Amino acid sequence: MESKRVMTLNKLYLSMLTIIFVLAYIVFVTVSEFNWVQDLLFLLSFITLYLIFVVLILEIKKAFFFLDTLLVAPSEKKEMKEIEITDPMVEEVVNHITIEAPKPVKKEKKYKFYGSTDAKTYHLEKCRFSGMIKPKYLVQKNKPDYFKTNKFHPCGNCKPNKK
């Protein structure tokens, strides 16, 4: 992919080339004494010449851009050195290295009821207010009995005591 700077330069070159060709066409038409058929043929040949120049300039720019990316200064090149293993213990360890598969991520257990020890209220899992409880105040249970025995109030929005 070309960078934005190269694309901007291409647009600049194309606009300059277009201006040059338009001005050259106007000069040639005003100076020459052609009839309208000759003017039309001249215009078509000018357009063809313009398109050839555009393609050549773009291809040359792409080629130079490609060469610039290939040619890296010697200071920027990083050399990789091969390391010789002389110790037999290290060689044995290197030869027996195995890559373990990543451990599966444990799914968090979902609870039906979420309570807040700070506000002393409890909510259904899908209640919008259950997501607002700070982790340090969060209590999660599957049955509402815990919340009722500890004097938690049911949420007025999701009404967990009716379900």
65 pLDDT band, cuts 50/70/90, is: low
At residue 1, the pLDDT reads 46
Question: Residue 13 class from Cβ within 10 Å (0-12 exposed, 13-18 middle, 19+ buried)?
Answer: middle
Tens-place pLDDT, residues 76-114: 545 555 556 566 666 666 566 656 667 777 666 678 899
Q: Which two three-digit tokens encode residue 75?
A: 């200071």
The answer to the question of residue 137 being in a domain is yes
Model's pTM, two decimal places? 0.35
At residue 21, the pLDDT reads 80
Is the confidence at residue 136, as pLDDT, over 90?
Answer: yes
Number of domains in the chain: 2
Is 51 strand, coil or helix?
helix
The answer to the question of residue 56 being in a domain is yes
**What is the number of other CB atoms lying within 10 angstroms of the CB of residue 112?**
14
Q: Are 152 and 115 in contact (CB under 8 A)?
A: yes
Range of the domain at 147: 113-162
At residue 82, the pLDDT reads 59
Q: Kindly state the average pLDDT of the residues 129-140.
A: 91
Residue of 45 and 109 predicted with greater confidence: 45
140's enclosing H/E stretch is strand 138-141
At residue 123, the pLDDT reads 92
The answer to the question of residue 94 being in a domain is no
